[in-house]
Amino acid sequence: MKMTLAKALNAGLRRAMEDDPKVVLMGEDIGRLGGVFRITDGLQKDFGEARVVDTPLAESGIVGTAVGLALRGYRPVVEIQFDGFVYPAYDQIVSQVAKFHYRSGGRVAMPMVVRIPFGGGIGAVEHHSESPEAQFAHTPGLKVVACSDPLDAYWMIQQAIAHPDPVIFLEPKRLYHSTKAEVDVDAAPAPLFESRVVRAGTDVTVLAYGPTVKTALTAAEAAAGEGKSLEVIDLRTLSPLDMAPVFESVRRTGRAVVVHEAQVNLGLGAEVAARVAEQCFHSLEAPVLRVGGFDTPYPPARAEEFFLPDLDRVLDAVDRSLAW
Amino acid sequence: MTEFLTPSPSHPDMVQLLNPEGERVSHPDYEFSPDRPEDEAVRGFYRDMVLTRRLDVEATALQRHGELGLWAQLLGQEAAQIGAARALAPQDFVFPTYREHGVAWCRDVDPMQLLGLFRGTDQGGWDPAEHNFGLYTIVIGAQTLHATGYAMGVQMDGLVGTGDPTRDTAVVAHFGDGASSQGDVNEAMVFAATYNAPVVFFCQNNQWAISEPVDQMVKVPLYKRAQGFGFPGVRVDGNDVLATYEVMKAALKRAHEGGGPTMIEAFTYRMGAHTTTDDPTRYRVSDEVEAWKLKDPIARVEAYLRRGGGASSSFFSKVEAEADELGERLRAGIHALPEPDPVALFDNVYSELPPELREQRDGYAAYHASFDLEGASR
């Protein structure tokens, strides 16, 4: 069945709730409205108000009470309405959610998913287009993943919910309704914490996740027309990073370009570049290049096209890499 | 204007059943009615308070001797904690701050495990599920949300209003007057009211948030805040173990029966420092401390028991001997606490080690072992 990313996530949540009665969804407007992006559409109608909980408007409250539910044996799945609204819950996420298992010497599990629609490109007002992934990937105890296509999203959300550790689940909001693909609900899923090659190539390895996977694939298509072969890897898992396929690829191509929407300074690309440099030093033909948001706050909507890495900026970086 | 901050013992808004002179007083809404013979119950409270105080005194001394990195003192708050904890049903669950040593005592957490946290050999060595007592929480007020969420879970489990006192379950969120300013505490109260969660917010108003007096942040009596959230608030004399026990029992009963949240403000005083790094003489006057000494929570129970013949002098010497024994055990045990294994740093970050972390661990283990080998060959 062909599904949008949004529909695939909805179907994945539904299946997770059917499979495990301890799964409870919580968030602002997720019940009757079905969430501002409609990801939880129809779930409250079918599972009731006790399992799809419309909460007061208080992000720390949502995550903090979810901690209590997890301690009681539930598997809370929390929706943060927009990336820029996660900061009021930041303390609960990094100081409580991330550390419970460690602090308790492994006695307490914290099986929680925090879903965050992230990234820009939808023409929104401020605080609605941010990419906070590095802040969570920098926190030991959290796992951070980003989906980029419907089939993957359908399985990843279920795997994240079933996983015993807390998972920050990033959903590229500009792909919610613009990406449609076949979702085989019977197919065996890829492991949650592995990156994967989504397009094979030989000249440059392009690394992306979430919304920039589509950008990278479009760039690869355009580059092919110019006789350049780009290998595109969807990192999928940002913490822990799964670098083995990246190293294997870079050893072949000798070149790597990392693409993300987040600000470049201390962003995930910096970590990826450092690890590639450590492990593939002798194979590299060029320094690892980064294409990302500028080190500015996210700009007003009518300027976001200048901020977001697009096909041309990716191709420019590919050319610079090849020019070494 | 700030009369509410220093209510007199007979203040109409403050529940008291045993006054500082050790005399029983009555209150229209609360009556001391323990679940065992009265004198036996009071003797039990007395013993708990004396042993908890000894734990506190010994731990403070151990910190002064460099054996603990830090200690959060509870001196003066024994009645608030023992009264609150002894009212609990076994199945109730408690979310503490980092000062609930008396509650931990009543929940049978080995005091050595509290010392482990402050010595830095672990981050809280007890199993919350075994004691129905959560880990100490350092970030101010964060645990009140955990308590509320846990209480929401209790409710989803159908464990309120069953009519079976061995099943009906309540949750207690401890916090202090300082924490009442935190967003999390206020959000916890919003959630608790919204979902009618079986949670008791137990605020020990000990008058000082480190160096900041309560009147710097509180402009109406704390217990009155509950009304704004839509549930009852009660102020109790936190230095009166009988009253605290009864007020807590009533709040727990309300939660057990499905009546929802209650806030209790236990009006008390932190006689010591905020923690052992703090110097209270820099910010408060000795007159205040002296005045509160006259309201000592243990002295009034002792006076009551002695005057009324509720306990013999051999009882007091027995408790004293028990306290000495506890002190001895803590002093002897401190060096027996196991030092952390360096390689164990990597344990329990996740349910299993991710490959990168495994590499870090194995690399560090080998590095660490190389020093041992050098040592062995010398």
DSSP assignment of B54-112: HHHHHHHHHHHTTS-S-----TT-HHHHHHHHHT--TT-EEE--S--HHHHHHTT--HH
In whole angstroms, what separates CA B352 from the centre of its chain? 33
Among A67, A108, A164, the residue with its CB nearest the CB of B149 is A67
Do the Cβ atoms of A24 and A53 come closer than 8 Å? yes
Q: Which pTM was predicted?
A: 0.95
pLDDT tens digits along A216-226 = 999 999 999 99
Residues of B with a catalytic annotation lie at: 270, 274, 283
Q: What is the mean pLDDT of residues A281-288?
A: 98
Tokens of A51: 């399992």
CB contact under 8 A, A69 and B351: no
In whole angstroms, what separates CA B99 from the centre of its chain? 5
* Cβ–Cβ pairs < 8 A, chains A and B: 134
Contacts of B172 in chain A (CB under 8 A): none
CATH class of segment(s) B18-336: alpha beta
Contacts of A73 in chain B (CB under 8 A): 153
pLDDT tens digits along A192-220 = 999 999 999 999 999 999 999 999 999 99
Interface predicted TM-score (ipTM) of this complex, two decimals = 0.95
Please tell me the total number of residues recorded for chain B in this structure. Answer: 378
Do the Cβ atoms of B169 and B257 come closer than 8 Å? no
Q: What is the pLDDT of residue B136?
A: 97
In angstroms, the separation between the Cα of residue B247 and the nearest Cα of chain A is 25
Q: What is the pLDDT of residue B378?
A: 46
Considering only CA atoms, which of B194, B190, B185, B192 is closest in space to residue B171? B192
Among A24, A96, A104, the residue with its CB nearest the CB of B142 is A96
Quote the Cα angle for B241-B99-A76, to 5°. 110
Quick one: DSSP state of residue A190? P
Strand A180-182 versus strand A2-4 pairing type:
antiparallel
Percentage above 90 pLDDT, chain A: 98
Residue A290 main-chain phi, psi, to 5 deg: -120, 135
Residue of chain B minimizing CA distance to A142 = B350
Q: What is the mean pLDDT of residues A137-163?
A: 97
Q: What is the pLDDT of residue A97?
A: 98
CB contact under 8 A, A103 and B125: no
Domain ranges of chain B: 18-336, 344-376
Question: d(Cα B295, Cα B297) in Å, to the nearest integer?
Answer: 6
Number of H helices, E strands in chain A: 12, 14
Q: What is the mean pLDDT of residues A31-58?
A: 98
pLDDT tens digits along B281-307 = 999 999 999 999 999 999 999 999 999
CB contact under 8 A, B146 and A103: no
pLDDT tens digits along A286-297 = 999 999 999 999
Q: What is the mean pLDDT of residues A273-280?
A: 98
Q: What is the pLDDT of residue B1?
A: 39
Which residue ranges of chain B lie beneath pLDDT 70?
Answer: 1-12, 372-378
Cβ neighbours for A192, distance < 8 A, ≥ 6 positions apart: A145, A156, A159, A160, A163, A236, A237
Considering only CA atoms, which of A30, A198, A232, A212 is closest in space to residue A121? A212
Q: What is the pLDDT of residue A4?
A: 98
Question: d(Cα B189, Cα B320) in Å, to the nearest integer?
Answer: 41
CB contact under 8 A, A67 and B145: yes
CA dihedral of residues A234, A237, A238, A240 (deg, nearest 10): -140
Would you place residue A227 in the very low, low, confident or very high pLDDT band (cuts 50, 70, 90)?
very high
Do the Cβ atoms of A94 and A86 come closer than 8 Å? no
What residue ranges define each of the domains in chain A, with the CATH number in brackets? 2-182 (3.40.50.970), 196-323 (3.40.50.920)
CB contact under 8 A, A64 and B148: yes
Strand B262-267 versus strand B199-205 pairing type:
parallel
Chain B contacts to A (CB-CB under 8 A): 95, 122-125, 127-129, 134-135, 139, 142, 144-154, 156-157, 171, 183-184, 187-188, 190-191, 194, 347-351, 354-357
Question: d(Cα B55, Cα B60) in Å, to the nearest integer?
Answer: 9
Strand A23-27 versus strand A196-199 pairing type:
unpaired
Largest Cα span, chain B = 78
Q: What is the pLDDT of residue B5?
A: 56
Residue of chain A minimizing CA distance to B138 = A95
Question: d(Cα A11, Cα A34) in Å, to the nearest integer?
Answer: 13
In angstroms, the separation between the Cα of residue B40 and the nearest Cα of chain A is 35
Is the model's pLDDT at A250 over the cut of 90?
yes
- Return mean pLDDT, chain B: 94
